[in-house]
Amino acid sequence: MNTKREDIRNIAIIAHVDHGKTTLVDELLKQSGIFRTNESVKERMMDSNDLERERGITILSKNTAINYKDTKINIIDTPGHADFGGEVERVLKMVSGVILVVDAFEGPMPQTKFVLKKALELQLPVIVAINKIDRPEARPEKVIDEVLDLFIELDASEEQIEFPVVFTSAKEGTSSIDMSKQEDNMEPLFESIIKHTPAPDVDAEGDLQVLISTIDYNEYLGRIGIGKVERGNIKTNQDAIIVNKEEESKNKKIRITKLYEFEGLSRVEVKEAKAGSIIAIAGVEDISIGDTICSIDNPEPLSFVTISEPTISMVFSVNNGPFAGREGKFVTSRQLRERLFKELHTDVSLKVEETESADSFIVSGRGELHLSILIETMRRQGYEFMVSKPKVLFKTVENKKYEPMERVTIDVPEEFMGSVIEKLGTRKGEMVNMVPSEGGYTRLEFSIPARGLIGYRSEFMTDTKGNGIMNSIFDGYEPFKGDIPTRSRGSLVSSEQGTSVTYGMYHVQDRGNLFIHPGVEVYEGMIVGMNSKTQDIDLNVCKKKHLTSMRASGSEEALRLVPPIIFSLEEALEFIEDDELVEITPENIRLRKKILDKTERKRANRK
């Protein structure tokens, strides 16, 4: 028999990237009295890994819990980026309501639409938090209208359209129901959560069912399954069985050894948890997302969100260049293989396949950001390896080739509109919408093949002099759009191994843009610059000046070098062609040709 658990609320916070949801969770934690008064608390506590903190984005969903008056509020902070959309869908299965955070100036953005659509499909009630209300250019009234339009566009039900609105400034720690006056605490938001989020409706007497929605990993505890107790009670030392609706052969008996609930940012060990609670289970070896933990007498698996398919793939391989093994701690194919397969434990949208060569693996993911974050994480952990140019994954439907499409939203000052429209046109982008927005900006929407966006971001920044904002989101598959012209300029390739010298670099810099400073170690086949013409050129940047009795060696100090272009990881991936690779080590990102020897390279090109 179902009863409501009034002492608990399970809620997810959803938003477009950078609209302030992680900062909002910080404030809720601080104001719920979870920290001692003298405890120092860092900003954006929920973004726990370095990459999340540096980029200011949430990659993995995080669980936390707050006690407000007599109610425990379980809060899940979700990623805003579409590349981590798989995370968002699964998390929403654990909650009975969502807070949609919208920036009071920017209004709804592409990911706002994406995450909101998922929440509405699951019939979840929504509380709208208009955040950053303290921004001087905030326009809350218009933003509420835009949010309402978005609900209507997404076919929200009548109950969903009657959403409550709370005005917040997560940075100042204030909130209110009334737009004109902020209260100096988060009470109005807490009260709205209690009032508008339904208490979990559960069958406490039934047989046990826990659906695992996310996986965490810990050196001491191994894999940790996180999910909601859908039915019954779970106790430590209880025998249970794992079942999976997709893989029916996967039945396995287990014993629950360690059980945790969330308190603030930490996990607290408990002996028992009742239906409606969000829990973490440790000590079960190969537990994975989508598994249901059931009582032995009645193993009924719960159905699960299908995980979005990968749209882009890259080849990861062992570094075989002349500098291999100098900078990295983990360099062998066995170490690379173990690391990639370990990533599959926690990242469900990732796919790793072995190839005919033991040294290479095909890694597929949800987008460039998804894969570049994996590469950057591995690099920081001491791995050294090489990756190929990202390739888009095509589908064949009734003997026709289909490709992944992206919906791109661009906010750009009017003076740069022409070049953006022209560039995206050549990349097979179609303009779907154009609206003037605040402050002399125009919002453009395009539908474009995913491969048309590879390599465009850095160009976009140059074309708009850094003033444009670009957001993209996966938009289904459409028939192949035809060929897209790629990079028109060739590479400048080092013909020698040695150290780059000012003299040698000065004499080749008029051939194009260099990527290195003097005093950098280079090898034959390494890309040291971009040619101003279309073909590749081999050149010697290590060439020294011959000394004669007439000239002193000091006279070369007058040689002026143009500052080099230094690529970030994403820019390097966007720059390379099919016959080139990016070599990644903890200390350096180098670009190189697949075939290093220039004679062999010429022979291969002739073929």
Do you know the residue count of the chain? 607
Spatial CA neighbour of 434 closest among 423, 422, 446, 426: 446
Q: Strand, helix or coil at 193? A: helix
- CA–CA gap between residue 288 and residue 306 (Å, rounded): 14
Tokens of residue 280, six digits: 């973490």
Residue 114, class by beta-carbon neighbours within 10 Å (0-12 exposed, 13-18 middle, 19+ buried)?
buried
18 is in an annotated binding site: yes
Spatial CA neighbour of 379 closest among 312, 344, 327, 323: 327
- CA–CA gap between residue 438 and residue 465 (Å, rounded): 19
Q: Are 215 and 286 in contact (CB under 8 A)?
A: no
Q: Strand, helix or coil at 370? A: helix
Tokens of residue 417, six digits: 């509109």
Q: Enumerate the H helices of 226-285 as residue ranges.
A: none
CA distances from residue 131 to 46, 97, 182 in whole angstroms, order as listed: 18, 18, 12
Q: Enumerate the H helices of 433-489 as residue ranges.
A: 450-453, 456-463
The b-or-e profile of 270-292 (16+ CB within 10 A means b, else e) is: beebbbbbbbbbbbbeebbbbbb
The β-bridge relationship of strands 97-103 and 71-77 is unpaired
Q: Are 347 and 396 in contact (CB under 8 A)?
A: no
The dihedral sign for the CA sequence 33, 36, 38, 42: negative
Helix axis angle for 140-153 and 110-121, nearest 10°, is 50
Q: Which residues touch 307 (CB under 8 Å, ≥6 apart)?
A: 86, 90, 289, 348, 349
- CA–CA gap between residue 228 and residue 216 (Å, rounded): 15
**Chain centre distance of CA 262:** 24
22 is in an annotated binding site: yes
597 is in an annotated binding site: no
Give, in degrees to the nearest 5, the angle at Cα 391 between 387 and 394.
150
Spatial CA neighbour of 212 closest among 223, 201, 197: 223
Annotated binding residues for GTP, written as ranges, equal 18-23, 131-134
Residues at the annotated binding site? 18-23, 131-134
